């Protein structure tokens, strides 16, 4: 499946060629398809092209560069697929038209919703395996339920015994099993507690009961003899604090910050006083305005949640635009999503935020 990204003013489109009979395309154009990315059809030199509006959305394969997929996100992903299957049936569309490749599954980071491409000519039989392998690599390994679900998905994808229509069934089966096990464990714990309590009561001797009564009596007498609590003297407490402060101030040795040599690390020198400089100590390095998704946080309204990415290969640095709204520029030239080599002295503009690579 071939696709290209193009820009039209402030909109960004994923473009694919449509050589189908046109029925499914017309159904998609004439009906509001919930969860599918809006599409328009353009006749270009006797060739039908479909323009999917992906403005402001991030592809799945770019969205989890810096973090793992949680069980909640996995659940929402598989549930979203099941919703798209129902939407296809409602509009009499072939379910195989739902594109499941991670690079063509999109997220809106403003509401964490998934959006889907419906491509009438989709014939990629390896999509589910690609998705399963991606999830296996990016799932949060600390969550056992998530790992079991993804492994089962991968196993069945490898067997060829799964498709878009029954993907969600794997998650449902896992949730049902988890609830059953949880209930069994809970019942077992409750029964064990009751059995232990009953056994203790049965074997508790008269001597033990007498000791308990004596212990309770002693606690009561001690409580009666306990002197009233002294009122807290704030003035004395403040004086003590001031004395401690004086001691700290007079201490000969203080905390020393040990700094390591910078070596060959690169840096983005800010040209805006409100934005600090940023070190490039590791790669890939994501820049944007959503803190949990990026390495370099840029608090500026012109910056998208995941705006751009800098990567390194064989000592060279490459800049990528992550489908940002306001674009990424190098020396005044707007770059596309493809890699763009950057060098020392280049001016990099992220939205309205400008840096110089040093």
Residues 166 and 30 in one domain: yes
45 lies in the same domain as 169: yes
Tens of pLDDT, residue by residue over 276-323, are: 999 998 899 999 999 888 999 999 999 999 999 999 999 899 999 998
Cα–Cα distances (Å) from 106 to 98, 102, 174, 179, in that order, read 12, 8, 25, 31
Flag whether pLDDT at 326 surpasses 80.
Answer: yes
pTM for the whole thing? 0.68
* Residue 282: per-residue pLDDT: 86
Q: Is the model's pLDDT at 242 over the cut of 70?
A: no
pLDDT at res. 225? 59
Residue after which a domain boundary falls, among 111, 146, 176? 176
The larger pLDDT score, comparing residue 184 to residue 259, is at 184
Say which CATH number the domain at 90 has: 1.10.510.10
H or E element, residue 168: helix 167-203
Sheet holding 333-334, edge to edge: 278-280, 266-270, 353-357, 347-350, 328-330, 333-334
Count of CB atoms situated within 10 Å of the CB of 336? 15
Residue 203 lies in a domain: no
* Cα–Cα nearest to 46, from 68, 25, 78, 17: 17
Strand partners, 283: none
Domain span holding position 10: 3-176
DSSP 8-state assignment for residue 70:
P
- Residues 150 and 286 reside in one and the same domain: no
| Digit-coded pLDDT (tens) for 260-284 | 344 467 899 999 888 999 999 889 9
Three-class DSSP category at 64: coil
> Which residue from 283, 82, 89, 265 is spatially nearest to 171, judged by alpha carbons?
82
Neighbour-count burial of 68, counting CB atoms closer than 10 A to its CB (0-12 exposed, 13-18 middle, 19+ buried)? middle
At residue 256 the predicted structure's pLDDT band, cuts being 50, 70 and 90, is very low
Residue 70's pLDDT is 94
Higher pLDDT, 93 or 259: 93
The CATH number given to whatever domain includes residue 321 is 2.60.200.20
Q: In this model, does residue 124 exceed pLDDT 70?
A: yes
Backbone angles phi, psi at 232, to 5 degrees: -70, 130
Question: Is 36 within 8 Å of 27 (Cβ atoms)?
Answer: no
Domain total for the chain? 2
Return d(Cα 168, Cα 174) in angstroms, integer. 10
Q: What is the average pLDDT value for the chain, to the nearest integer?
A: 82
pLDDT of residue 212: 61
Predicted local confidence at residue 255, as pLDDT: 37
Whether 53 is in a domain gets the answer yes
Residue with tokens 């001797």: 205
- Residue 288, strand partner residues: 297
Phi, psi angles (nearest 5°) of residue 249: -65, -30
pLDDT, tens digit (0-9, with 9 covering 90-100), for 148-201? 999 999 999 999 888 888 888 888 777 665 555 455 555 556 666 666 666 666
Query: 3-state DSSP: the chain helix, strand, coil percent, rounded to 5?
Result: 40, 25, 35
The answer to whether position 256 is within a domain reads no
Domain boundary among 128, 154, 176: 176
Q: State how far the Cα of 65 lies from the Cα of 109, in Å rounded to an integer.
A: 14
Residue 302 lies in a domain: yes
Nearest to 94 by CA among 114, 122, 116: 122
**Is the predicted pLDDT of residue 211 greater than 60, yes or no?**
no
Dist CA 50 CA 1 (whole Å): 13
Looking at the fold, whether 37 and 161 belong to one and the same domain comes out as yes
Other CB atoms within a 10 A radius of the CB of residue 185 amount to 10
323: left (phi over 0), alpha (psi -120 to 50) or beta: left
Task: Evaluate the CA torsion angle 135, 140, 141, 144 in order and state its sign.
Answer: negative
Query: Is the predicted pLDDT of residue 237 greater than 50, yes or no?
Result: no
Segment (H or E) for 330: strand 328-330
Which of 44-58, 250-264, 311-325 has the least mean pLDDT? 250-264
As a whole-number percent, the residues of the chain with pLDDT over 70 amount to 74
Listed residue (73, 72, 13) closest to 44, CA to CA: 13
Residues 142 and 281 in one domain: no
On whether residue 212 sits in a domain, the answer given is: no
Classify residue 281: in a domain, yes or no. yes
Tell me whether residue 218 is in a domain: no
Q: Which two tokens stand for residue 233?
A: 């003297």
């Amino acid at each position: 499946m071939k696709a290209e990204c193009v820009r039209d003013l402030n909109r960004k489109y994923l473009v694919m060629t449509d050589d189908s009979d046109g029925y499914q395309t017309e159904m998609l154009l004439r009906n509001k398809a919930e969860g599918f990315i809006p599409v328009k059809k353009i006749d270009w030199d006797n060739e039908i092209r479909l323009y999917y509006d992906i403005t402001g959305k991030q592809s799945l394969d770019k969205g989890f560069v810096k973090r793992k997929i949680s069980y909640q996100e996995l659940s929402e992903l598989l549930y979203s697929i099941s919703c798209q299957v129902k939407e296809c049936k409602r509009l009499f569309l072939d379910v195989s038209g739902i594109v499941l490749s991670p690079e063509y599954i999109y997220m809106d980071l403003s509401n964490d919703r998934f959006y889907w491409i419906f491509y009438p000519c989709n014939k990629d039989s390896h999509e589910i395996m690609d998705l399963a392998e991606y999830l296996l690599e990016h799932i949060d390994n600390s969550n056992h339920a998530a790992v079991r679900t993804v492994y089962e998905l991968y196993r069945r994808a490898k067997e060829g015994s799964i498709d878009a229509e029954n993907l969600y069934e794997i998650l449902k089966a896992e949730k049902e099993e988890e609830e059953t096990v949880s209930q069994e464990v809970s019942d077992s714990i409750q029964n064990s507690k009751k059995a232990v309590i009953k056994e203790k009561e049965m074997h508790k001797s008269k001597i033990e009961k007498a000791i308990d009564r004596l212990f309770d009596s002693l606690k009561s007498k001690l409580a009666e003899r306990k002197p009233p609590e002294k009122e807290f003297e704030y003035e004395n407490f403040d004086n003590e604090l001031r004395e401690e402060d004086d001691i700290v101030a007079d201490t000969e040795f203080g905390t020393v910050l040990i700094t390591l040599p910078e070596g060959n690390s690169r840096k983005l020198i800010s040209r805006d006083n409100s934005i600090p400089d940023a070190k490039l100590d590791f790669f890939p390095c994501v820049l944007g305005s959503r803190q949990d998704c990026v390495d370099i946080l840029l608090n500026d309204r012109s910056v998208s949640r995941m705006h751009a990415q800098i990567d390194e290969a064989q000592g060279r640095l490459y800049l990528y635009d992550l489908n940002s709204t306001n674009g990424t520029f190098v020396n005044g030239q707007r770059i596309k999503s493809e890699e763009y080599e950057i060098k020392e002295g280049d001016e990099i503009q992220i939205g309205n935020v400008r840096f110089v690579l040093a």
